[in-house]
Amino acid sequence: MLFIDAMDYDDLFGDDLIGSTSVDLEDRYFLPEWRALHNKPVEYRQLYHPSSGVSQGQLKMWVEINPASCAPEDEEKLWDISMKPPEEFQMRVSVFDTKDIKMMDDEGTSDVFIRCFFDSRKDALETDTHYRCQTGTASFNYRLNYKIEMPRKDYRFTVQAFDRDFFKSNDIIGSSIFDLKKAFEDCQLCKRPLHIDKTYYEAYMRKEGDKPMEWDKEEDSFWLPMISKNNDTGELEDNGHVRIRIDITTMEFAEKNKVGSAREDPNIEPFLPPPIGRLSFSFNPCDMYKQLVGPAVRRKIAIWCFVFICSALCIMILYYLVPIVFGNLLTSWIEKGF
């Protein structure tokens, strides 16, 4: 039996045992199938601690048994087990627009911007802000370029929608997490640019039990739901969708085929036009009024204007009608009296 211990190294106190595993070498050496393999199979061994029956993790390993009469390099291939040097990649995220985004302000508007990251403290990037969005359709056409080093611990990419506030903290509208580990591994393996479209996602990234992804009509960008927890009920709710496109390239390819951040040049792959539906100056006061004042406030103003006009009309009618009616009544009384 070959016993393997995984230890926690400690400078000041004794090293701590994390877990152990045991390998029966006879079971392997006398197994014809094992001996016939030129490359021995990789094993995943569970690590157990004497104080617990729960696995403390896994050990990834393989076993080779070579004759003692000759050095391994004379008979077997040597394996380089040193850590693979890190590789750099560029991930290009194009944030296009939203649909059905929840209006966070009481007046029925949201100042929407999108924030994306792997690690919120290190690599978070944001789009510009679509101010005074009233329809739930915020337009960005904004490119976020990330420099990613592999291997890395976490490949889960977070996309968040926020409502920007100037006098208090920004309100989160919703968020979604997208696992990109498979895409990065494929790009690292083939050393070619990789675009996540519907064909690739359905063939390689979608896991059993995942909900179907909603794609645009060209099937090269997709909608991520902005999920948020309701503070009153505690239930998760869908607060709209954000449409993005993701491209992953090696850093060598990225240096030779540069693309600008935001909407800067070179604005290619894809070309990002100026956003639509943003605030724009107009000499038409009605147009500026609709852009600056939210629909909820406009409804209140319209109601108050209607009430004011009706009240003014009633007052005017009473002002002119009461003397006439009173005069007629007085004249009638006088005529009857005489």
316, two tokens:
């005017």
- 135 within 8 A of 277, measured Cβ to Cβ: yes
Distance CA 131, CA 139 (A): 10
- 196 within 8 A of 179, measured Cβ to Cβ: no
Burial of 110 (0-12, 13-18, 19+ CB in 10 A): buried
Domain boundaries, the chain: 2-75, 87-281, 294-338
* Whether residue 200 has pLDDT greater than 90: yes
pLDDT in tens, 1-21: 999 999 999 888 889 999 999
Which pLDDT does position 71 carry in this prediction? 64
Higher-pLDDT residue of 293, 248: 248
Question: Chain-wide mean pLDDT for the chain?
Answer: 88
Which pLDDT does position 279 carry in this prediction? 75
- 95 within 8 A of 244, measured Cβ to Cβ: yes
CATH superfamily of 87-281: C2 domain (2.60.40.150)
Higher-pLDDT residue of 304, 223: 223
Which pLDDT does position 289 carry in this prediction? 62
Residue position matching structure tokens 């990002």 = 272
pTM of whole model > 0.75?
no
Which pLDDT does position 126 carry in this prediction? 96
* Whether residue 138 has pLDDT greater than 80: yes
318, two tokens:
């009473």
Nearest C-alpha neighbor of 210 from the set 185, 178, 240, 183:
178
Confidence of residue 199 (pLDDT cuts 50, 70, 90): very high
Which pLDDT does position 24 carry in this prediction? 94
Which pLDDT does position 338 carry in this prediction? 55
Looking only at the bridges linking them, the beta strands covering 87-99 and 58-61 are unpaired
Q: What is the mean pLDDT of residues 104-129?
A: 90
Q: What is the mean pLDDT of residues 215-219?
A: 92
* Whether residue 74 has pLDDT greater than 60: no
